[in-house]
Structures are given as structure tokens and as C-alpha cells.
Structure 1
Amino acid sequence: MNDVTETTSRQEETETRRGSGRTSLSSVSNALKMLKAFSDETSELGITELAKSLSVAKSTAHRIASTLVNDGFLEKNPANEKYRLGLALFRLGAQVRRRMNVSYESRPMLMDLRAKTNETILLAIPDEDQILYAFHLESSHAIRMRSDIGVRKPMVCTAEGQVMLAYMSESRRLPILKEPIKKRTAHTITDPEKLKAKLDTIRVQGYSLEDQESETGMRSIAAPIYNSERNVVGCVALAGPVIRMKDDLIPGLADQVIQTAMQISQRLGY
């Protein structure tokens, strides 16, 4: 080990020992600074330039760059040995852009659906094996479904999540269904075969009806939102208490939810 590397290692060990009062590790901070060093004007940078931008030794810059290359955040141009931003960043950026587009484009239609039904209206997007609420409009009724932007719930027991599972590829769906299903209420479907049968029904009818599977006394109806590539990127949901969402009203409410989801899908290029 040369003197520079040994000194750097000792410095990093000292920083780690002092880390209890820090908000982040220096290595993480340096990795983020390295990514931010790239721009439209400097799309490719060598190790000397990266080390200078971080004010660290070349050996430290090389170690950080190699880690980022292994994870796909940087790529190395074999023609000149310089580094450039990798496709992993593009994929992450595309996810953020899709979420922002769905939330922004859907708002007028969601507000119209709430005006017509006066029930809580939700926009949900997938987040691994959960759903994440990206937008919501609460009913004005005293008894209503409540939620907040950023709240996550399991896919398996929510109308929104069941819609996403129904239209998800088999390779993505199977690992989720293999996990034990936690019983949230007396109505939660915990039998994987029964849940698979329900997902088949959802694909046939075009919407999901969740009857107190997630919250006792509450029902939800959800329909899928498609993007221009015909992939399901989210869903519209209408939620309210069982005392108002009676059986004879479900078909009419489902039609309105499906229509709203299709209007949003068309805005996204479907």
C-alpha cells in the first residue's frame, strides 16, 4: 500500500469513527459529488479531473468511480478511459419522470371524479411490493376514507395494489405472491390461490373491488392507468364507507373510475 492510499484509508477510518455526529458518511457524500461533477459541458471526465473536483487522492477517486461503475451509475469509455454517467441514473430519472407525469396529468380528471361522487379519490403508483399514494382528494362527508400523499400500503390487500398485481408481468408478480400475506382485517384474503383467482377476475372486468380487506368498514374501487407503452403505471381509486358504497351502486361507480383512468391513460399517450 503506498503512502497516499494508506493516509487516505486512515483518514476514512477516522471519519467513520467520528460518524456518530455526521448526517452521512464521507464516502457516500463523495460518490454523490462525483456524479454531480458531470454536466452537459463535461459529459466525460478522467480520474485526474474527478479527483480534483472532489479534492481527494486519485486512488480514492478511482475506488469511488469503480464502485459506481459496478452499480451502473457510471460507465467507462474504452476509447479514452474516461468516465460518463451510466444507464442506472437514466432508469431512476425515468421512474421519477413517470411518477411526476402521472400525478400532474391526472389532477383535472381526479377532481372531476370527486365532484361527481363526493367520495375520496386516490392516485396510486407501484413501489416494489407496495403502493404509494401520489395524490388524493378527500370526500366532504364526515365518515370518509383518509390518506396522505406518500403513504404506502401492501399491494396484496388494497384495490390499487390488486389492480397493479393483476396487470403485472408473471415474473414480477410471483415473488410478491409467494410472501406470507398479513391479515389486516377479518376480510383480508390470505390464501394465495384465492387472491390469484381474484386477480383473474380483475383482468376480465377491468377494475378491482376491495371490500374491507385493508380497512374495516371501507370499500375501494380501482382501475389501471396505462402509459404510451401500454404498461400499467398507476391506478385511480375511489374509496368510501360500506354504508354508502352499497352493492347496487358498485357497477355505476366502477364505470366512472374506469372512465377516469382511461382519460388519464389517453393523456399519457395510451
Structure 2
Amino acid sequence: MNAPSKPNAQLETGRATRNRLSSVATAIHLLKAFSESESEIGVSALAKKLKVAKSTVHRLAQTLVAEGLLEQNPQNERYRLGVGLFALGTLVRRRMDLPNEARPYLFDLRKLTGETIILGIPSDGAVMHIYDLESPQALAMKSDLGARKPAFCSAVGRAIYAFAPQAVVDEMLAGPLTRRTPKSVTDPARLRAIFAEVRERGFAMEDEENEPGIRGIAAPVRDSSGAVIGAVGIAGPLQRLSLEALEGFSQPLLSAVATISSRLGYTAAYQHGLGN
């Protein structure tokens, strides 16, 4: 038997890709079919809503059940949204709640310190700035909103990942750690020691390790479960911020993150060195 020609193989590959995309779209429409007025729907009704075969609905529904995104009522065999969606929604809500709850305290910190205030979140072993308030002074750290930056050499990143699960830290430190300035620490053993110091003190510091001429301090923000979901940082030029002056910001910073954490549902007493 002759081997299929290359154009035929490409055609089959294209068709398979379209089929997969079609299945993904149908699965999304299936989940969106549920509403407050229709919290449970059977296969026939779903097939009618989606205008697809019942066999297709059954196959997709079983896959979604296996992933926890759907559940099947054993009494009537109808489907309903699963708790897996609640978990995903909670992740989204945390990220939406964090900047909203933090905003007034970020403004207070800028007014108190006169320096740039940063709100960052973890992002695949890095850190992303989701809120930046630039210093009103002429010489200031510039905003980098939305940018992903290495976490190992920034105060905001260290304040977050010092409290991350060991596996997450191991993965981050196993990757290439590119020196961003002559002062950047890239030795994994030294970084682990720095993370331990952050857990002990409750805040992280950087001294021209992420950007030349910039110093910073940051402390972690926790959610209702006690997990660190972000960090608030204060950064400014070394011409204005000695290390002593920077560390002097630690108490108002810790007070701010404690208040933000409590507004996110964290009820335990906020203490220096609180671990995972």
C-alpha cells in the first residue's frame, strides 16, 4: 500500500486541529448553557441548546465530570456545574479583589514615603506588577505595569516566593538565573538564605539587584487561607534612600499589608516570620 501523500497528511492534520478546536468551543458553550434558572440540564436539553448530537454532549459532559467542572445528579442523571469551576473562579476573584482592597493603602504609603509603590503577584516563577503608583518626585523609579520580571532579584518577588512551596522555589532556582545588575545574587544557596531571612523578618529588601540605582523593600499579602498571593513594595533611587531609610519603611509597610490581608479574609494575627 502506498504511503499517503504529504498534502493528504497535512489535510488530515488540519482537519484534526479544527475538530479539536470545535470540541473545545462546544465544551465552553456547554458550560455556559447553565444559569441560575437552569442549574441542572439533561443530555437531550443540552443537545438541543447546543445544536449538536446527544452523543457529543454525553462525551464532552463525561470529560468535564472527570475534571470536576461538571457533576451529574445521581437521582435524575442531569448535569450541573461542578466545584472545580468554583475553585477556578476563586482564583480569578482573588486577583480582582487584591488591587481593589489594596488601592487606598497603596496611596497612603506613597503619601507617607514619597516613593514609588508597587503591588505585584506571582507569575510562573516570576513577578508581575499589577498596580504601580509612581513617586511624585522628579527622580523616581518608573512604572512597569503589567511587566513580568525575575522574582529572585526583586524585593517584591522575594517577599512572595520566600513563602512559596518548596517545589516552586526549587524549580525557580534550578532555572537560569540571569544577572540583571552587577549586584544581582544568582547563587541558589545564597538566595535560599535570603528567603529564610525574609521569613524571619517579614519583609524583603533589594539593593540595586534588579535595576541599577534603585533600592526597594516589600512585604507579602495573604488571603483568607493564609497563602501569600502578592506583595506590596516601596522603591526609590539610592541617592535619596539609604539602606537605613529604606528599612525605616518596614513598619508602615507591614502595617499596610496586614490591613490589606485582613480585608481579604486573613484573620490570624499577622506576625513577622510567619511561614506557609
Q: Structure 2: how far apart are the matches of 1:35 and 1:239?
A: 44
- The aligned runs of 1:119-268 (5 Å cut-off) are 119-268=115-264
Deviations 1:132-167 (A, max 9, x none): 222221112233222344322222222111111112
Q: 1:85 aligns with which of 68, 78, 81?
A: 81
**2:67 counterpart letter in structure 1:** D
Alpha-carbon shift at residue 222 of structure 1 (Å): 0.3
Output the TM-score relative to the length of structure 2: 0.83
Q: Structure 1: how far apart are the matches of 2:92 and 2:21?
A: 25
Give the match for residue 16 of structure 1: 18
Q: Structure 2: how far apart are the matches of 1:154 and 1:76?
A: 43
Q: Percent identity?
A: 44
After superposition, the Cα gap between the structure-2 partners of 1:76 and 1:157, relative to the gap in structure 1 and judged at 3 Å, is: farther
Give the match for residue 32 of structure 1: 28
Q: Structure 2: how far apart are the matches of 1:14 and 1:224?
A: 46
State the 4+ residue runs in structure 1 displaced beyond 6 angstroms.
none
After superposition, the Cα gap between the structure-2 partners of 1:213 and 1:88, relative to the gap in structure 1 and judged at 3 Å, is: farther
Give the match for residue 117 of structure 1: 113
Q: Structure 2: how far apart are the matches of 1:70 and 1:181?
A: 38
Deviations 1:163-197 (A, max 9, x none): 11112232443333332322222222211111000
Output the TM-score relative to the length of structure 1: 0.85
Give the match for residue 39 of structure 2: 43
Q: 2:90 aligns with which of 75, 94, 101?
A: 94
Number of residue pairs matched by the alignment: 254
CA contact (8 A) 2:216 2:234 kept: yes
Deviates more, 1:32-41 or 1:255-264: 255-264
**1:74 counterpart letter in structure 2:** L
Q: Which runs of 5+ in 1 are unaligned?
A: 1-9, 18-23
Q: Which runs of 5+ in 2 are unaligned?
A: 1-11, 267-276
Please report the RMSD computed on the Cα atoms of aligned residues, expressed in angstroms: 2.4
Give the match for residue 274 of structure 2: none
Q: Does 1:75 align with 2:77?
A: no
Deviates more, 1:139-148 or 1:43-52: 139-148
CA contact (8 A) 2:217 2:247 kept: no
After superposition, the Cα gap between the structure-2 partners of 1:33 and 1:213, relative to the gap in structure 1 and judged at 3 Å, is: same
The DSSP-based 3-state class of the residue aligned with 1:135 is: strand
**2:29 counterpart letter in structure 1:** K
Deviates more, 1:175-184 or 1:96-105: 175-184
Deviations 1:7-53 (A, max 9, x none): xxx9x939929xxxxxx933332221111101122222222122111
